[in-house]
Amino acid sequence: MLLQRLQLQDFRNLARVEILPSPHATVVVGRNGQGKTNLLEAVYFLCTLKPLRARRLMELVRFQHATAHVAGTFALGGATRQIAVDVQDGLRTASVDGKPTRALEDYFGGVSVVAFTPDDLAVVKGSPEERRTLLDRAVFNRFPGFLRASRAYQRALRSRNRLLKEGAAPDYLEAYDEAFADAGSRILVFRRDLLAELAPRAERTVAAIAQLEGATYAYAPAHLEVAFATSDAEAFARALRESLRTRLLRDRERGFTSVGPHADDLEIGLEGHAARSFASQGQARALVLGWKIAEIENLRAFLGRFPLLLLDDVSSELDPERNAFLMHYLSGSGAQVLLTTTEPSLVREAAGRDTRWLAVDAGNVVPAGGPAL
């Protein structure tokens, strides 16, 4: 998969941008706050229909404008495919080859992207929500059907929480319990399958990056009595329904649902201890770097190609040794990479003779020269 052309209009602070990325490395240079990350977020949004940072879709539209537009031309399996997404009035509309698409499978077929941001480096010591986001982005890349299950789950969760706050009768709650358990069980299956593939790769990668033995990545269901590694969707749904029943009184008192995929955690460990409590900053970042490289390699193994890689000023947050490992990996992978940086010398090793250098200043994207190779 190659992104051959990217076009933006009124996305964040970017008024109008058209670039032809290199098939290998495209490096976007600029001071903080000029729009480098916005450019990567546009690519991520195009490939996933989800923002990289924004909480609301309205945040993606340039100030005092009504619509944001992102379009890309991709080479996929010998064919050329044009996909586009528009945001207006807080809603998004997507098209493939100029035709509106309602089936998510039609939109996502063949397109995959892995993003790596400085925020990712903090997830080991961050909140469970941050670790779930790290996990679910990897799940979606591997299993695009996860998005449909996630949407169904969020609808059921919102409805159940509303009824809990309103003190609705048990009969009303039971109707949503079924939808909640059905969608939740599918999410758990996707997460279980992803971890079975990715965790061993990540553990080996961490050992190679930082000579750290004993790294672990495990799923921690909240208030759910189930054998996570071996259960199927039916067993997950049964366990969810049972836990909803046993925790109903507590949930009524608090006004929210306390069990389900939205309450679970990705436990990251090191030598038998919780990394969030015992890992140094360097070790924690190595654990995330190992996860990201394992995600890339896992996708290559199952898709037969690399995903598009987006790295947002990650080099400035890594120590020299780990940054060198990452840059060496990128330069040798042959993957298409878009990187942002405030200091070109930090990413020199990932660049080649065909690297495309761009500069961003106050939302304007122009060609730039890179450091000597």
CA separation for the pair 42, 236 (Å, rounded):
36
Say what the pLDDT of residue 117 is.
93
CATH topology of domain 1-112+307-373: Rossmann fold (3.40.50)
Taking residue 91's Cβ as centre, other Cβ atoms within 10 Å add up to: 9
Domain made up of 125-306: CATH architecture:
Up-down Bundle (1.20)
Say what the pLDDT of residue 372 is.
58
Q: Which residues of the chain have pLDDT under 50?
A: none
Say what the pLDDT of residue 201 is.
96
Say what the pLDDT of residue 145 is.
87
Residues 93-149 have pLDDT tens digits of 999 999 998 776 667 777 899 999 999 999 999 999 999 999 999 999 999 889 889
First to last CA, the chain: 26
Contact in structure between 20 and 338 (CB atoms under 8 Å): no
Q: What one-character-per-residue DSSP string does 77-90 give?
A: TTEEEEEEEEEETT
Say what the pLDDT of residue 7 is.
97
CA separation for the pair 331, 327 (Å, rounded):
6
Say what the pLDDT of residue 209 is.
86
* Domain ranges in the chain with CATH number 3.40.50.300: 1-112+307-373
Residues 77-93 have pLDDT tens digits of 788 999 999 999 999 99
Q: What one-character-per-residue DSSP string does 268-311 give?
A: EEETTEEHHHH--HHHHHHHHHHHHHHHHHHHHHHHSSPPEEEE
Contact in structure between 107 and 96 (CB atoms under 8 Å): yes
C-alpha distance from residue 318 to each of 116, 259, 310, 321 (Å): 12, 36, 16, 8
Tokens, residue 186: 């599918």
Helix (H) or strand (E) holding 9: strand 2-11
C-alpha distance from residue 52 to each of 55, 125, 327, 341 (Å): 9, 20, 22, 17
Say what the pLDDT of residue 211 is.
80
* Domain ranges in the chain with CATH number 1.20.1050.90: 125-306
